[in-house]
């Protein structure tokens, strides 16, 4: 019967801060540092703004963790969740049971997904969805009597989640140092022209990066390789927008071989790249699509796998149980949030507005920053952006050692009221689709101020 700890006062804020430090273990956090210093307690949110426990207002240039694509004030999603909780707060989808919200969401997803995607397996998160992909792919090739096809190919610096299986798919070296992962995942290079392109043009380098897949399949033997998994745009890895030559070449390689293509759309899905799905932006034809985050606008934990007819026709026409699932697969309240989110994206014109107006405006304003003294490259697509920070534009020498330049700029941005993220040597942003042009202007102004401060700090003259 403890009363909620609402900090109306500085004392209240301090109390929360201390309790958090003492009792709450945080994901992707230096736990020792946090236990000593603590962090920021977020107490409320409105539109595209979060407010911390001291009531500091911060424009959220990251849409939470790339999930609150429609911002924080969406009463129809809240009402749908509430109504569902009052009608059927829970029932499971095991043992031949279903519920109306899960059924409706699956049918709505079939409506908005690329053609040929008509079946959906629900999870609580993107990580669980990628674990589900692994199970589905094994099941598919087992039924086809090709059980030796087990190897997954992924990319260096990929993020596909945090369970042991999903982090095995991922290619982040810091994570691999802390896990003993699956033994049948191989990683090829990412299409990161700014870092790895050398003297090649982006288009030449896109082909080189894609052909690393062909070489890897040939090295491992096509008969042993099950699937290639990738995000259309690598998000947490630093918004790695691929050269336009990359995806068509990957598609050719997968088409010529018996390899399933998995598009991890946990970030790119539901409008982030300007279309419903990132695979549409790049003309990819995946066999499986991972989704989460934006599907419920982050208001409920929800993820899943969209299964193409090619895969579904195998796994739904074979005897025996698919021995996989979660207590909360198809949770009615999460699915109600999904239905309401899709309705907003599709029926209120938000996605169309983002694709036609907001995305191009965001791109134009971001591209202007390529003139800034410490910006070596600007990458944008839809409502995603990355700014590579350099000391020297010609040599691409990084602004500071070990990402310190980007971390400094990020801290300045947050201090000035803009939430962005530092990944390696770049600043990244993924704002909500409900920003006005004026709000994009404010975002850019705050970013420029942070870049100015960073160029002073690291002694670069404009």
Binding site for ligand PMP (CB under 6 A): 125-127, 130, 159-162, 231, 235-236, 264, 266-267, 292, 303
Q: Which is nearer to ligand PMP, 1 or 178 (CB)?
A: 178
CB-nearer residue toward ligand PMP: 231 or 425: 231
E strands present in 243-383? 260-264, 288-291, 303-308, 375-381
Q: Starting at the edge strand that comes first in sequence, how are the strands of the sheet with 57-60 ordered?
A: 42-46, 49-52, 57-60, 418-419
Q: How far apart are CA 206 and CA 191, in angstroms?
A: 6
When the beta carbons of 251 and 296 are compared against ligand PMP, the nearer one is 296
Nearer to ligand PMP, 26 or 57 (CB): 26
The CB-nearest residue to ligand PMP is 126
Smaller CB distance to ligand PMP: residue 161 or 400? 161
SS3 category, 234: strand
Compute the least distance from the CB of residue 50 to ligand PMP, in Å.
18
CA-nearest of 365, 364, 383 to 274 is 383
Q: How far is the CB of 198 from ligand PMP (least distance, A)?
A: 27
Shortest spacing between CB 204 and ligand PMP, in angstroms:
27
Structure tokens at 199: 């003297």
Least separation, in Å, of the C-beta of 109 and ligand PMP? Answer: 17
Distances (CA, A) of 69 to 25, 196, 341, 354: 26, 31, 10, 11
CB closer to ligand PMP out of 70 and 460: 70
3-class secondary-structure state, position 95: coil
- Shortest approach of ligand PMP to residue 371 CB, angstroms? 30
CB of 423 to ligand PMP, least distance (A): 12
* Residue 318, both tokens: 């074979």
Distance CA 62, CA 261 (A): 28
Contact assessment for residue 422 and residue 388, using Cβ atoms and an 8 Å cutoff: no
**Token couple for 303:** 């993820």
Pick the closer one to ligand PMP by CB: 212 or 230: 230
CB of 240 to ligand PMP, least distance (A): 12
Q: Which run of H or E residues covers position 210?
A: helix 202-220
């Amino acid at each position: 019967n403890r009363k909620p700890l609402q900090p109306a006062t500085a004392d209240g804020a301090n109390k929360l801060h201390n309790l958090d430090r003492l009792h709450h273990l945080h994901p992707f956090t230096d736990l020792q540092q946090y236990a000593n210093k603590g962090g920021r307690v977020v107490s409320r949110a409105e539109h595209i703004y979060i407010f911390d426990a001291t009531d500091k207002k911060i424009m959220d240039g990251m849409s939470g963790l790339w999930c609150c694509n429609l911002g924080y004030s969406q009463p129809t999603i809240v009402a749908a969740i509430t109504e569902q909780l009052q009608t059927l707060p829970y029932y499971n989808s095991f043992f031949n049971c279903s519920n109306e919200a899960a059924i409706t969401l699956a049918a709505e997803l079939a409506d908005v997904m690329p053609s040929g995607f008509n079946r959906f397996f629900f999870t609580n998160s993107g990580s669980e969805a990628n674990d589900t992909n692994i199970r589905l792919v094994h099941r598919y090739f087992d039924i086809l009597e090709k059980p030796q096809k087990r190897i997954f190919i992924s990319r260096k610096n990929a993020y596909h989640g945090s369970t042991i299986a999903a982090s095995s798919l991922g290619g982040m070296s810091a994570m691999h140092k802390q896990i003993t992962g699956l033994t049948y995942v191989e990683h090829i290079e990412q299409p990161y022209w700014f870092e790895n392109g050398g003297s090649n043009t982006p288009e030449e380098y896109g082909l080189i990066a894609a052909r690393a897949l062909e070489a890897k399949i040939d090295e491992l033997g096509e008969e042993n390789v099950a699937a290639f998994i990738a995000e259309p745009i690598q998000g947490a890895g630093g918004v790695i927008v691929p050269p336009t030559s990359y995806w068509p070449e990957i598609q050719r390689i997968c088409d010529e071989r018996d390899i399933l293509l998995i598009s991890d759309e946990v970030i790119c899905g539901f409008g982030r790249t300007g279309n419903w799905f990132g695979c549409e932006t790049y003309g990819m034809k995946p066999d499986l699509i991972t989704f989460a985050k934006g599907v419920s606008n982050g208001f409920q934990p929800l993820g899943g796998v969209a299964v193409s007819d090619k895969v579904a026709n195998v796994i739904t026409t074979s005897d025996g149980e698919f021995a996989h699932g979660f207590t909360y697969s198809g949770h009615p309240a999460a699915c109600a949030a999904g239905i309401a989110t899709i309705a907003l994206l599709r029926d209120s014109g938000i996605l169309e507005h983002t694709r036609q107006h907001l995305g191009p405006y965001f791109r134009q304003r971001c591209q202007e920053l390529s003139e800034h003294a410490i910006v070596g490259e600007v990458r944008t697509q839809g409502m995603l952006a990355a700014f590579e920070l350099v000391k020297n534009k010609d040599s691409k020498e990084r602004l500071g050692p070990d990402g310190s330049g980007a971390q400094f700029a990020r801290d300045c941005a947050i201090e000035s009221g803009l939430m962005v993220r530092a990944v390696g040597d770049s600043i990244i942003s993924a704002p909500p689709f409900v920003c006005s042009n004026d709000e994009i202007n404010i975002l850019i102004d705050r970013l420029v101020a942070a870049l100015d401060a960073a160029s002073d700090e690291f002694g670069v003259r404009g």
